[in-house]
Amino acid sequence: MGPIENEEKLDDVMAYYLNVREALSGLTEIMNITFNEKDFYRQAAVDNLKALHDNVLEMLKASFTPREIRMRLRELEFDEKEAEKVFPL
């Protein structure tokens, strides 16, 4: 695969990542609205959503070089800061 094809593939993957992250953020918001902060099921659900987010990132890192990922994530820096509010690292 040439550099152009690889970059296009990374663009597609990053778009999928953004969609997944947005969906996970939405589910976390629903959990926060629906359940009391101290509710065990709410915390378990939020923990699982965070684990899912972390695993998506790990799959992304396994598919592309760290440099490629860093460059794309820099382009999305503001969005990443917003995601960290929901999925603290």
Percent helix, strand and coil across the chain, each to the nearest 5: 85, 0, 15
89 pLDDT more than 60: no
- Which pTM does this prediction carry? 0.66
Torsion sign across C-alpha atoms 83, 85, 86, 88: positive
Can you tell me the distance from the alpha carbon of 16 to that of 43, in angstroms, rounded to the nearest whole number? 26
Q: What is the dihedral of CA 77, 60, 7, 20, to 10 degrees?
A: -60
Q: What is the pLDDT of residues 54-77, one digit of tens each?
A: 888 888 877 777 777 777 777 776
